[in-house]
Amino acid sequence: MTNDVIVEELNTLLRGTYMGVRSFEHYIQELDHDDLRANFQDMQQELKQNASKIAERIQNLGGIPADDEGVSGSMHSFMHKVMLPHDKTKIIEDAIKGIDNYGIHYSEELVKGDLDTTSKQIVEDVINTNRGHVEKLRQLLH
């Protein structure tokens, strides 16, 4: 495995993380419950911290980190905003679905790829953060 391959894998994860940050921005704009908005803002900050860690690792490998979600991510973000539910429960369910599909399962596939030990640990930390977000969101549903 070369650093170029690792950087490409990490940039894929980084673009996905930026998509998550953008999705949370959409949710926050729709929420009118202060406590719920604060929870979403906390999760968004954790996503931003994860993005920073991934970008730093890419730089340490000699690569250039992505600075946004990319073209397909931008298209997805636009569609997400257009189709975003306005009901609090539906917003939480949508967030759970997105994090579960992209933040956990897709990232788990990435870990199976060509990553060095340090990069794999960063990806696993990102996945664990996402798992925590899903758990927190499930608790908010009840």
Q: Give the pLDDT confidence of 52-68 residue by residue, as tens digits.
A: 999 999 999 999 999 87
| Domains contained in the chain, number | 1
Residue 107 has pLDDT above 90, yes or no: no
pTM of the complete model = 0.88
Confidence of residue 87 (pLDDT cuts 50, 70, 90): confident
What are 117-130's pLDDT values in tens digits? 999 999 999 999 99
Residue-range definition of the domain harbouring residue 33: 3-141
Contact (Cβ atoms closer than 8 angstroms) between residue 84 and residue 92? no
Residue 70: what pLDDT?
Answer: 59
What are 18-38's pLDDT values in tens digits? 989 999 999 999 998 889 999
Residue 42 has pLDDT above 60, yes or no: yes
Give every CB contact of residue 65 below 8 A, 6+ residues apart in sequence.
Answer: 10, 11, 14, 54, 55, 58, 59
User: Tell me, what CATH number does 37's domain have?
Assistant: 1.20.1260.10
Q: Which of 54-58, 72-76, 109-113 has the lowest mean pLDDT?
A: 72-76
Residue 74 has pLDDT above 90, yes or no: no
Residues 117 and 103: their CA atoms lie apart, in Å, by 20
- Computed over every residue of the chain, the mean pLDDT equals 88
Sign of CA dihedral 126, 99, 25, 40: negative
